[in-house]
Structures are given as structure tokens and as C-alpha cells.
């Protein structure tokens, strides 16, 4: 075995675990889920049926990633964060009959490469979080997040931009529409509703 699963974790036999990945105590990986290489699934985390994780993802302790979520390479999901999958959650139908698996259509959260979701944030599906974006701890995300955006609050709104290093970008007065990372010096420019790398 080229991955590590702690004895108290539950991993369905049909799940795929990539090389170098670790699944910690009391985590549950459901049927048909696929984890790329180098992933870390924290204690008590849940990865739903058919969920797809790219390489080098971290799903921290007690995070809930419900199907049909898709996480790109290098995605971070913080402790106790939740990716939902139901637009109109109800335990029963209008007549009071308990709903079953066939009584609703799951919708997913898609998180693009390098993006981060902070501790206890809730992402209300369906939505997409763009590349290298950052969702602040405790935020409730109800709409798509552009590439490199920093969002916070309830409901979440954009409060700035971040670069690949996660540092808040600084506007360049000498170059309108261009932002710079104070840590790496990398430059970013406006592109649609998000940013793109300028270098």
C-alpha cells in the first residue's frame, strides 16, 4: 500500500486513494470517491460518494465534503467547513412522507486549483470557487467566487484579492488594474470578474 489509512477510518472498498495520501482517525471516505496523490483527510472528516479530489488536497478535521463536490489540485478545506449539496433541503415531502435518495437531485460545489476554504465556512451548492481564491473562516458562500478573490462574511462578498501565496494583493497606483503580491512580487491584472497572473 502506498498510502496510509488509520485503523478507525472508514474507507469504502470502491474508493480510490492516491499514492502518498493519508486518511486520519474516524474519517469516512464513501463509495466511488477518488483522492489524488498526496492528499490529507483529517480526523472525523467526511468525503461523500463519488467526490473527486485532485492531488495534494487537504480536508481538515471534521470538514464535510458532500457529493458531487469536485476539488482541483492543491485545494484546502478548513476544519469543520461544509460543502453542501441540496438547493432546497427537506426531510419530508409536502405530504409529510420521509424523503429518500431518489426524491432530490444533488448539486455540487466545485473548487478550483489552489483555492482555500477557511474553518467553519459553509459553501452552499451549486457554486464554483475560482483558482487560488480564499474563503475566510466562518463565511457563508452563496454564489460563485472569482479567481484570486478574497471573500468574507454572511453572505460572503469580495473584500479583496489574494495571490498564489495567500497574501492580500496591493493595488499598483502606477499601473491601473494591476495588483502585486507583497510576499513574492508577482503581478496580477483584471480579467473578467476575477484576476489573472500578469507575469
Q: Answer whether 0.85 is exceeded by the pTM.
A: yes
pLDDT of residue 102: 85
Please state, in angstroms and rounded to a whole number, the distance separating the CA atoms of residues 30 and 12: 5
pLDDT of residue 103: 87
Residue 39 C-alpha from the chain's centroid: 13
Considering the domain architecture, whether residues 169 and 137 belong to the same structural domain is answered as: no
Please state, in angstroms and rounded to a whole number, the distance separating the CA atoms of residues 116 and 103: 32
**3-class DSSP assignment, residue 39:** coil
What is the residue-wise DSSP string for 108-167?
Answer: -EEE-TT-EE-TT-EE-SSEEE-TT-EEPTT-EE-S-B-TTEEEETTTTEEEEEB-TTSP
Please state, in angstroms and rounded to a whole number, the distance separating the CA atoms of residues 106 and 91: 14
- 94 within some domain: no
**3-class DSSP assignment, residue 101:** helix
What's the number of domains the chain is made of? 2
Considering the domain architecture, whether residues 35 and 57 belong to the same structural domain is answered as: yes
pLDDT of residue 199: 78
Please list, residue by residue across 118-127, b when 16 or more beta carbons sit within 10 angstroms of its beta carbon and e when fewer do. bbbbbbbbbb
Considering the domain architecture, whether residues 45 and 35 belong to the same structural domain is answered as: yes
Supply the range of the domain harboring residue 171.
164-199
- The overall longest dimension of the chain from CA atoms, in Å, is 63
- 16 within some domain: yes
Cβ–Cβ < 8 Å for 149, 135: no
- The backbone torsions φ and ψ at residue 102, rounded to the nearest 5 degrees and listed phi first, read -85, 0
Nearest Cα to Cα of residue 84 among 142, 141, 123, 30:
123
Considering the domain architecture, whether residues 125 and 55 belong to the same structural domain is answered as: yes
Considering the domain architecture, whether residues 113 and 157 belong to the same structural domain is answered as: yes
Considering the domain architecture, whether residues 49 and 26 belong to the same structural domain is answered as: yes
Considering the domain architecture, whether residues 169 and 76 belong to the same structural domain is answered as: no
Considering the domain architecture, whether residues 132 and 194 belong to the same structural domain is answered as: no
Considering the domain architecture, whether residues 146 and 123 belong to the same structural domain is answered as: yes
pLDDT of residue 101: 83
Considering the domain architecture, whether residues 174 and 83 belong to the same structural domain is answered as: no
State pLDDT tens for residues 95-122.
999 998 888 899 999 999 999 999 999 9
Considering the domain architecture, whether residues 116 and 178 belong to the same structural domain is answered as: no
pLDDT of residue 76: 98
Please list the ranges in the chain whose pLDDT falls under 50.
none
pLDDT of residue 144: 98
Amino acid at each position: 500500500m502506498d498510502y496510509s489509512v488509520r485503523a478507525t477510518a472508514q474507507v469504502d472498498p470502491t474508493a480510490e486513494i492516491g499514492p502518498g495520501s493519508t486518511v486520519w482517525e474516524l474519517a469516512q471516505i464513501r463509495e466511488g470517491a477518488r483522492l489524488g496523490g498526496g492528499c490529507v483527510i483529517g480526523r472525523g472528516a467526511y468525503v461523500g460518494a463519488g467526490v473527486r479530489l485532485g492531488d495534494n488536497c487537504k480536508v481538515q478535521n471534521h470538514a464535510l465534503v458532500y457529493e458531487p463536490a469536485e476539488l482541483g489540485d492543491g485545494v484546502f478545506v478548513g476544519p469543520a467547513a461544509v460543502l453542501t449539496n441540496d438547493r432546497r433541503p427537506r426531510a419530508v415531502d409536502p405530504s409529510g412522507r420521509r424523503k429518500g435518495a431518489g426524491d432530490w437531485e444533488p448539486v455540487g460545489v466545485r473548487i478550483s486549483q489552489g483555492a482555500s476554504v477557511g474553518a467553519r465556512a459553509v459553501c452552499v451548492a451549486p457554486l464554483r470557487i475560482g483558482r487560488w481564491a480564499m474563503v475566510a473562516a466562518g463565511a457563508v458562500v452563496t454564489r460563485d467566487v472569482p479567481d484570486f478573490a478574497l471573500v468574507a462574511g454572511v453572505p460572503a462578498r469580495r473584500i479583496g484579492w489574494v495571490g498564489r501565496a495567500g497574501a492580500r494583493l496591493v493595488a499598483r497606483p502606477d499601473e491601473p488594474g494591476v495588483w502585486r503580491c507583497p510576499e513574492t512580487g508577482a503581478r496580477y491584472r483584471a480579467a473578467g470578474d476575477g484576476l489573472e497572473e500578469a507575469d
